[in-house]
Chain A
Amino acid sequence: MAHRTTLSRRTCLKGLGVAMALPFLETMTWGETPKGAAKNPVRMAFLQSPFGVYPDNFWPKDAKTFGPSGVVPPTLEPLRALLGDCLVIQGLQNPGINATKGSTHLVETSSWLTCTAPKGGGMVEVGVSADQIAALQVGAYTAIPSLELGIQNSNFSHTGEDGFAGAYYDTISFRTPTQPLPCENNPRSVLNRLFSSRKSMPKRRASSGGVAAVGGGAEESEGRSLDQSMLDVVMESTAELRKHISGTDQRTVDEYLDGVRSLEQRVAAIEKQQAEAAHAKQAKGNTKSGLKYSDPIEVAVHDGGKWSEKVKLMGDLMILAFQTDLTRIATFVFEHPFGISYPELGFTEAHHECSHHDNNKEKIEKLCKIERFQIEQFAYIVGRMKGLLDGNGTLLDNSMVMWGSGMGYGLQHNNNNMPTILAGRGGGTIRTGRLVHATGTQGDLLMAILARAGCAPDRAIGSGTKPSNDLV
């Protein structure tokens, strides 16, 4: 694969891994933001673990004593130093979703960000997920509308239980009611996606026959690249194909066309960002005065490794994408509910097996170890973001990183009291360092989060009705 970086001018290979060094952010300008350019963009990430939590070890007993220097339940201990930047939300419900019957674990994944119940019948049909609702509104400001990350290889086409499509298990992102977005599980693919722009054959002035106009300024980038024009022709020619296919297939072709159009937008966004970066570079004195930005973090991409290493690596890539404003939206599935185990903790009982602990002490102990381990990874990501300057504050200040589960307590397969932690201040719009009891539903919470990132506050998410007030 040909590597051509969009933002990076220096890419160095170190040993087996790829270590990247990017230019100083000062040479870059932000893409547009929904409400005026002065503010830094607000990023959001949705991180999911399956099977809920073991309540006794997770929930703080007392809101007053809970805090960085107070009483912290064992599962949340890794997050202690960061609790001042977190909002722990208790009693959150996802109404209308019955997780206790039938294919419970595909319900917990597919309803978490959609707040709708998935339909059966072998096909995917569920609500559009919050991250994709956001991607549709603010995704256009960045080169990549949204990132969907995962850890395990999931085979996206197995048939699920009870005639439910297997794809419900594999992702928490649904771009349309019928289009699940597979998670990227390979860090190298994520890296490629972030930093190797496709080489679109540039359009030349036919008369000159000279050098291509790449990054040469806004005028040249107005013209469509040859790739874009080529895709236009391909789209036109599908009209012929449509005559010979059924309604279902026409929908398939529509989705295909939608994919092509989104791709064109992405190509245009990349080209625009490149042009802007080039402009900013030319006008050297024109850096953002008074605001401080950390250098983009270095990420060494490696294959394989332990689960915790993989989560950290994916987390780093996500942070890097946020830092460089390649995207503002990400989902990250820590674990698919297939019942994987964590040998690095010194035992091999699978997470799912432990969640059905039958009040067996040994199993509860192992379950809590796994849950704490997952919180440890969440804490790593949050901590790293807190350590990065992002203009008027830290990257964490300008972000909302939500960790949670679509289930409350795995043993009972219920989904009342879904564990939820929201880290980051959403650009100074969230009062963190608290334990709150939810007054709204999961849908309401997601609406509140999206509104803070510049999305329309009245766009309902599944069963949500109004943005929750719990964040302030």
Chain B
Amino acid sequence: MRFPTCTATFLTAFLATTGGLVGGGTSAWGADTSSAMLASAFDKQVKPLLNTYCAVCHGTEKQKGDVDFSTVKDGEQALGQLPLWKSALAKLTDQEMPPSKEKKQPSDAERQTMQVWMRALKRLQPPDPGPFIIRRLARVEYDNTIRDLFGVDLKAGSDLPTDVPGEGFGNTVSPLLMEKYLIAADDILDRLILPDQYHLTSPAGQLGAIIAGVPEEGKPDGKERIFTSPAELTTVLSIPAEGTYSIRIKAGAEQVGKEPVRIGIRFDGQFVQELKVLAPTKRPAVYTCSTKLVNGKTRFSVVFINPVADVDLPPAAPAAPVGNGKKTPAGTAPKPAPGAKPATPAKPAAPAADPSKAANRTLLIESIEIVGPPAGFVGEAQRRVFVALPGKDVAKRDAAQKIAQAFAYRAYRRPPTDLEIQALLKVFDLADGQDEVFNESIKLMLKAVLVSPQFLYRTPDDRVEAKDPVVPLGDYELASRLSYFLWATMPDDELFKLAKDGKLHEPETLATQVKRLLKDPRAHALAENFAAPWLGLDKVADTTLDEKKFPGVTKDMRQALADEGLTFFDGMMRESGSVLDFIDCDYAYMNGMTARLYGIDSVKGPKMQKVHLDDKNRGGAATMPGVLMVTSTPNRTSPVKRGKWVLEELLGASPPPPPPNVPALDKQDTPENAKLTLRQKTERHRDDPACASCHRVMDPIGFGLENFDAIGRWRDRDDTGGPVDAVGELPGKQRFSSPSELKKILMGRKDEFLRTFTSKLLAFALGRKLVGYDEVVVEDLVEQMAKDEYKLDTLIGRIVASYPFRNRQTLH
């Protein structure tokens, strides 16, 4: 049995507070020594206190709450009753026991003796990383993983159910979900792995045109087009992948004047290439050029540059070199001179040309053809997939094997086993066996990867010997756990390399990597996936509001309100801020829109800015307008909801759901009740003992925030027109009369907040509910935070270094 060092520390502390116990040098911190010491300490120190202060109600005579300390005969026995001491510890710490009405109260030192002993006992349990489950990728993780796997952001999971990562995640795959995974895989591969070259051929007559400024649609049966005035042949193309494309234009012309007919090729209005059309209209020829295009929609145009023959026109510009991308055109097309008059006598007209416009040149475009990049060579996704291609010296199946190996390594986020590779090759053979082209066979193989559980779930690295009940995570598993925690995506190349070299688990390396990952923009995922649901900001977009009462809360405003909290978290994470800022701080993030809710005029524009707050009532999560909005009803504030929010999200207390209304209470309702103020109505909760126990705590906290209306603006008068009554009191006679004083009280209870926040973040990192030993881990993390200015980034680093993050249970 191993013990983390903190157990020893704790026992040392225990010894110090209790004035030293039975022998056993401090050098021998074996498990037996520890239990022997604790058992002996129970007999000598704790048992007498229990007899004095607790036995009256929890002894042989009375067993209130089914608790009876007299059954615990000695220290040996006491060690085996962890649940009893856990609950006793909670009651002691909250000063709930002994009840305040009892005259005999333990001194602070005595109370501490019992607490320290109970805490030390908790640490006697062996460390346990908690249940290990293979985790399915949540939708956002799926999207991001596909993005990083192929290097192209496809938003491929948009049809998947909206699940979010975190502790309550549903791992199951229904047939519908399976089908959606298959559809998504089809969609992804259709877009990335081209069966052949992209090839578009179209008669010019089927494409749209703008003739003398007038748009004209193409006809389904259209053939060639003939232009004799300023004109542009135009259409929108869906370019499937980045690469160099050939453009072939079959055209002919009737020349006028010295200058040949010139056409310009444009993409999205950017000039790419100029071509001279020399062939006659009777025998059109193919004119070609090529250009780099990125994937996505682009408007392709062929512009008739010089329809009007004008002797004064400058000679044709030399053909521009091939453009190196549509964003950086190689040249600019000279515009046709507006209003230029025909100067040269007409030549024999083209058959279709209007004789009255004989001075104009004639351009005939028969067809256009655009041929895409040879699949497998261009574009980031293709480069990543096609690590080998069949050729003279490479057999098809060998190339497929190399591709499978490389792709599965990244998609499974660990080296694939031989059997896994064989299975993939079997899929390749299925398609190859019926003479599919190589790319199609590869596509089927990749599809198998994308619908495999090894991809859809994060599965363990089987190279780790799993003989013990608990094993450290393999480096690959650790890399995944780390990257999904901080980035909501698969590990990047550096993490892969460290995993491959077997170095990632080294404490210093791990710490360095956490720092690196947190600096990366991708770490914003933690704000989106952890902070937003925690603070309730994921609900801001859909919260119903009374539009008459709160006009102007637009979609953009809602977005900004959610962004405020996310930026707050993000800033704290990147600037080594203190997590206590969630309770209270002197700054907030806002943009021009949300600054109005703060009553601040100086902030302008749509960008989120960090603003210093002079108003002590503002600052901290509870006073963020977004949070105040989601804890309101559509037309008014709700002290109950706000109180519940503070209790649950900041202090970690979870009030049970309210009991249904009992008819007896209905009868108390009288018309007079309608005249009651919100406070009076809410206070009725406390008349009923069934409601009082929770509302006594919940409501006063919410009333402390009554100065903020349902969208978080400050107000001095409430809906009835009377002055806002923000007076409240918490158990323990802590009175307050403003949001600022409430925050002070909360700051006084910062240990509860730190425990809550740390627990939530640890549960998110582990993707499961916290159980058993996790409590000890949280306690240690909280203790360490106090020594380090409560920095969020340090906490994240310590969570990654923590025992349950780095280890897992095995089958044994």
Residues of A near any B CB (own CB < 8 A):
1-2, 100-104, 122, 124, 145, 148, 153-162, 165-167, 175, 178-182, 184, 186, 189, 192-193, 198-199, 201, 203-206, 209, 226-227, 229-231, 233-234, 236-238, 240-241, 243-246, 248-249, 252-253, 255-256, 258-260, 262-263, 266, 340-341, 343, 348-350, 353, 356, 358-360, 362, 411-413
- B176 / chain A contacts, CB cutoff of 8 Å: 148, 181-182, 184, 193
Any chain A CB within 8 A of the CB of B453?
yes
Q: Is B451 touching A231 in the complex (CB atoms < 8 A)? A: yes
A259 smallest CB distance to B (angstroms): 4
Known: A122-B168, A179-B174. A349 touches B660 (CB 8 A): no
- A182 / chain B contacts, CB cutoff of 8 Å: 161, 174, 176-177
Q: Is A201 touching B431 in the complex (CB atoms < 8 A)? A: yes
Beyond the given A201-B444, A348-B633, A349-B634, please list 11 additional residue pairs across the A-B interface where CB-CB is below 8 A: A148-B176, A180-B170, A181-B176, A186-B159, A238-B453, A245-B459, A246-B133, A246-B809, A343-B547, A350-B633, A360-B674
Known: A1-B187, A341-B544. A104 touches B666 (CB 8 A): no
Known: A230-B444, A245-B459, A252-B172. A161 touches B656 (CB 8 A): yes
B132 smallest CB distance to A (angstroms): 7
Q: Is A227 touching B182 in the complex (CB atoms < 8 A)? A: yes
Known: A206-B434, A349-B634. A233 touches B163 (CB 8 A): no
Nearest to B547 among chain A residues (CB) is A343
> Which of A241, A348, A356 touches B546 (beta carbons < 8 Å)?
A348
CA distance A358 to B669 in the complex (A): 7
B155 smallest CB distance to A (angstroms): 11
**Secondary structure of the B side of the interface?**
loop
Q: Is A165 touching B430 in the complex (CB atoms < 8 A)? A: no
CA distance A468 to B781 in the complex (A): 59
Known: A179-B172, A248-B131. A359 touches B669 (CB 8 A): yes
Any chain A CB within 8 A of the CB of B811?
yes
Any chain A CB within 8 A of the CB of B726?
no
Q: Is A157 touching B169 in the complex (CB atoms < 8 A)? A: yes
Known: A180-B170, A181-B174, A349-B634. A237 touches B419 (CB 8 A): yes
Q: Which 10 A-B residue pairs are closest in the complex by CB-CB distance?
A: A413-B660, A348-B634, A262-B175, A259-B178, A237-B423, A159-B168, A348-B546, A157-B169, A259-B173, A359-B669
Nearest to B160 among chain A residues (CB) is A189
B residues 414-437 in Cβ contact with A at 8 Å: 417, 419-420, 423, 426-427, 430-431, 433-436
Any chain A CB within 8 A of the CB of B167?
yes
CA distance A303 to B65 in the complex (A): 55
- A160 / chain B contacts, CB cutoff of 8 Å: 168
Any chain A CB within 8 A of the CB of B452?
yes
Q: Is B466 touching A244 in the complex (CB atoms < 8 A)? A: yes
Known: A156-B170, A180-B170, A348-B635. A263 touches B457 (CB 8 A): no
- B674 / chain A contacts, CB cutoff of 8 Å: 360, 362
Any chain A CB within 8 A of the CB of B542?
yes
CA distance A231 to B451 in the complex (A): 8
Known: A343-B544, A360-B674. A226 touches B444 (CB 8 A): yes
Any chain A CB within 8 A of the CB of B5?
no
Q: Is B170 touching A165 in the complex (CB atoms < 8 A)? A: yes
B156 smallest CB distance to A (angstroms): 10
Nearest to A248 among chain B residues (CB) is B133
Q: Is A102 touching B435 in the complex (CB atoms < 8 A)? A: no
- A180 / chain B contacts, CB cutoff of 8 Å: 170, 172
Known: A248-B133, A348-B544, A360-B674. A161 touches B175 (CB 8 A): no
B residues 126-168 in Cβ contact with A at 8 Å: 131-134, 136, 138, 159, 161-168
CA distance A237 to B132 in the complex (A): 22
CA distance A356 to B666 in the complex (A): 10
CA distance A441 to B169 in the complex (A): 34
Nearest to B161 among chain A residues (CB) is A182
Known: A161-B657, A341-B634. A246 touches B186 (CB 8 A): no
> Which of A157, A234, A255 touches B163 (beta carbons < 8 Å)?
A157
B residues 235-260 in Cβ contact with A at 8 Å: none
Any chain A CB within 8 A of the CB of B454?
yes
> Which of A154, A230, A240, A241 touches B427 (beta carbons < 8 Å)?
A230
> Which of B433, B447, B457 touches A230 (beta carbons < 8 Å)?
B447
B655 smallest CB distance to A (angstroms): 10
Nearest to A106 among chain B residues (CB) is B657
Q: Is A157 touching B164 in the complex (CB atoms < 8 A)? A: yes
- B447 / chain A contacts, CB cutoff of 8 Å: 227, 230
CA distance A193 to B659 in the complex (A): 41
Nearest to A240 among chain B residues (CB) is B419
- B423 / chain A contacts, CB cutoff of 8 Å: 233-234, 236-237
Q: Is B435 touching A350 in the complex (CB atoms < 8 A)? A: no
CA distance A243 to B134 in the complex (A): 13
CA distance A260 to B176 in the complex (A): 10
- A341 / chain B contacts, CB cutoff of 8 Å: 544, 634
